[in-house]
Amino acid sequence: MADTQKSIFITGAASGLGREVARYFANVGWFVGLADLNQSGLEETAKLLPPGMYSIHKLDVTDRAQWKTAVSEFAKHTGGRMTVLFNNAGIGSGGPIQDMTDEEIDRMIAVNLTGVISGTRACFELLKDTADSCVLYTSSAAGIYGSAGLSVYSATKFAVRGLAEAHDIEWRDLGIKSRSLMPGFIDTNIIAGVVDPGSNMTGKERLQSAGLEVSPVSVIGPAAWEAIHGNKVHTTVNKTAKQLAFAARWFPERLRRNMVGLVKGMQP
């Protein structure tokens, strides 16, 4: 890796948003660290990237020892630098909180919040030693307003939003930027694989039938680039997220009524 080449370490790189950001940044000349539990998915992502522009790291974000190993291996490729940590890995499941199992709740918090914190801590020294570095967190439109039927997921994304805001202040004198992406519904395997009980509709089709936008995954690369290079702490991605952020700020009671209606309309 050249001394002037920029680098990005991506968790959740085996699919979805992580894969697309990896493709986008590698194609503009960045060295990309691909990290995920899914080895075959990592290899599929790697096939989309130019030769010599990536490293592969099998990583369970809930395991702090694995974080330490992955970051150390990445540093060998980059000369001890990390321009961006894309702290992206996350899982999501829905349903009323009383219907979720303890294991589902614990796992979601471990991956979506504790794993994110562990990643930031593991990468901190590399970021501090790299000029104009940035942590980019994946929050969600569910981190703008509490999402019924996704309450635990929504709570973790509110927490990630809080990390981005706090670290933007904490690290200002260190030269590390802190940013978050807040996407609405993006056409990834998570949405495509959720089938509506009692019908043949996928989750994507169900959302679209309710009048909600499902954006192509290609929107996330430019959004990540904008977030890293811009001055806003939070970058909303797609029309739905932008509208939600606007309504949450200026018309919270109207938004609440609309959300109640949406939940009723989504019920079988």
Spatial separation of the C-alpha atoms in residues 184 and 140, rounded to whole Å = 6
Residue 83 CA, chain-centre distance (Å), reads: 17
Residue 18 CA, chain-centre distance (Å), reads: 7
**Exposure string over 128-157, b if 16+ CB within 10 A, otherwise e:** eebeebbbbbbbbbbbbbebeebbbbbbbb
**Catalytic-residue membership of 145:** no
Spatial separation of the C-alpha atoms in residues 60 and 231, rounded to whole Å = 31
Catalytic residue among 24, 54, 137, 153: 153
Residue 30 backbone phi and psi in degrees, to 5: -85, 145
The 133-138 sheet, strands edge to edge: 54-58, 31-36, 7-11, 84-87, 133-138, 176-183, 234-237
Catalytic residue numbers, as ranges: 153
